[in-house]
Amino acid sequence: MQFNDNDIDWLSDLLAAVAVQEIMPRFRQLGTDDVKQKTSALDLVTEADTSAERVITERLRERYPDAFVLGEEACELDTSLLGKLKDAPLAFVIDPVDGTYNFATGVPLFGVMLAVVVNGETVAGIIHDPVGKDWIIGVKGAGSHIRSAFGIRQKVSVSPPTAVNEMLGAISWQFLSDPLRSTLARNHAKCNASFGFRCAAHEYRLIASGNAHFALFNKLMPWDHLAGVLIHQEAGGYAARFDGSAYLPRHLDGGLLIAPDKANWQDLRQTLWSE
């Protein structure tokens, strides 16, 4: 079966069904053996992550037997999977529980993310909120919207461009090193205010729906950013790597800065990197 825009609702419902089955029953119910560290005490994996990814992957392969499925936890076991994304005619990229640290510590800010990539281009992104029981969805060329639990669809747009000193934004610190880390920390204070959810799913939702202005990320794992960047762009926003080049599914480094438009991106880039 080939992917088309009519499959968006099926994919959205799949993420919600798996959240009900595999994620929410474990929320605030995890035992000591259900949580494991990956690279640090802040980088965790839980039984919810592995079980949700397994079920989503199984359902995708049943419906799209020729598609490549790239999940965060599968890639943790076999990093060679990352290299296969760029050549896949059709691929699904899954983050089964984005914001695992929040999930594991009982904070209700986490999401399920899925991106659809066709011949190296992201064509759809879905972020499901298992707590709020809704979705933010973007489709290439068709805009972005929030789909409520009651089926209501509301188009979203990024915030209007504004001066840097009026901006609300997030900088993901944990994967930055000095001297850039210190430079960005100092210059972030030139903005109006900051937020940090430790959850890209909710950060992208906040920015794509016009309730914040920008975000900066240094680590570019495809499951963390492909869906969110597509949703943000379809909501009218602009994203590029730190050097101004376009962000593509194959990119794993180079950083990422997202803003309301290109002019605002350039203003932010100049302000945040200034000596």
User: Is 98 among the annotated ligand-binding positions?
Assistant: yes
Which helix (H) or strand (E) covers residue 187, if one does? Answer: helix 180-188
Residue 117, SS3? Answer: strand
- The burial of 150, by beta-carbon neighbours within 10 Å (0-12 exposed, 13-18 middle, 19 or more buried), is given as exposed
- What is the pairing mode between strands 90-98 and 111-118? antiparallel
User: Is 72 among the annotated ligand-binding positions?
Assistant: yes
The token pair at 263 is: 């002019």
User: Are the C-beta atoms of 125 and 228 separated by less than 8 Å?
Assistant: yes
Q: Torsions phi, psi of 73, nearest 5?
A: -75, -35
User: Is 95 among the annotated ligand-binding positions?
Assistant: yes
User: Is 7 among the annotated ligand-binding positions?
Assistant: no
User: Are the C-beta atoms of 138 and 121 separated by less than 8 Å?
Assistant: no
Q: Which residues are annotated as a binding site?
A: 72, 95, 98, 224
| Binding-site sequence positions for Mg(2+) | 72, 95, 98, 224
